[in-house]
Structure 1
């Protein structure tokens, strides 16, 4: 079996966290928010559009429990910008960088990356394209 890419990741968020999620992922990080079907009660989650081939499904739920060090580490998103542009955008948006690495290894090789935490405790690695 040969996979070509990661299609989606499912993350649960608090039922009252929809606005915070849309602000963080949409406005602060600059990803697309696709919530038409969610708003129409046609599906129980909405999407953060990372690229034409990848999304994060965000599932609001009353049973949300924040991730811990024992059950989640991070998801990595390759960004089509230099690490300088990524960090500048984060600074402009007021997003705190948890950690910056010069060459973490990933599926496509080594490239600079920064780590941020969303409003629900999920760590997201934003990695420069190799």
Structure 2
């Protein structure tokens, strides 16, 4: 028996944040929204990009994840950084990691997001 992969990452968002999430994850990051199964809560939203799935769930006691975060691999880190900064998002560099270029930003709710490109 072994773990064979990662199916998805889930982040919390505040109630009513779905449209803001779509603007960030679809319009800025280029992810695709996918339908949630009908038997799950109608709130929240799901996205995919490459082989990565991201589920956003509404938390009535929402607090942003300031340390825990998804690290999303991208194919044009510089272009994405420009797009995010042009949209008013703050980007921050951090300590180098061998084999990658990377920076951090936040989604509209303050959740930490790492964006990485293989060097």
Which band: TM-score by shorter chain?
Answer: 0.7 to 0.9
* 1:47 aligned counterpart, secondary structure: strand
2:63, 2:95 → 1: CA distance?
32
Among 48, 58, 77, the residue aligned to 1:60: 58
2:15, 2:3 → 1: CA distance?
36
C-alpha root-mean-square deviation of aligned residues, in Å?
2.3
Q: If each structure's strand is expressed as a fraction of its own residues, which one has the higher value?
A: 1
Unaligned runs of 5+ in 2: none
Unaligned runs of 5+ in 1: none
1:37, 1:10 → 2: CA distance?
13
Paired residues, number: 116
2:88, 2:47 → 1: CA distance?
20
Q: TM-score, normalised by structure 1?
A: 0.73
Q: TM-score, normalised by structure 2?
A: 0.79
1:42, 1:20 → 2: CA distance?
24
